Structure 1
Amino acid sequence: MINLKSIYRSLEKIEKQMKVYELIDDDPEMKMKALDNTIKEFDLIGDAALEGIKDATASMKKIGSEDIGKRIEKLTEIN
Structure 2
Amino acid sequence: MINVDAIHHSLAKIEKQKHVYELMDDPEMKMKTLENMINEFDLIGDAALEGIKDATTLLKKIGSEDVGKRIEKLTEIN
* Number of the residue aligned with 1:51: 50
Q: Matched residues in 1 for 2:65 and 2:20: separation?
A: 54
* Number of the residue aligned with 2:34: 35
Deviation at 1:67, TM superposition (A): 3.9
Q: Which blocks of at least 5 consecutive residues in structure 2 are unaligned? A: 70-78
* Number of the residue aligned with 1:10: 10
Q: Which blocks of at least 5 consecutive residues in structure 1 are unaligned? A: 70-79
TM-score (norm: length of structure 1):
0.82
The sequence identity of aligned pairs, in percent, is 74
RMSD: 1.9
State the number of aligned residues. Answer: 71
Q: Which deviations, in whole Å up to 9, do the C-alpha atoms of 1:8-63 show, x marking residues without a partner?
A: 000000001101100102x1000000000000000000000000000000000011
Deviation at 1:66, TM superposition (A): 2.6
- Matching residue's letter, 1:6: A
- Matching residue's letter, 2:41: F
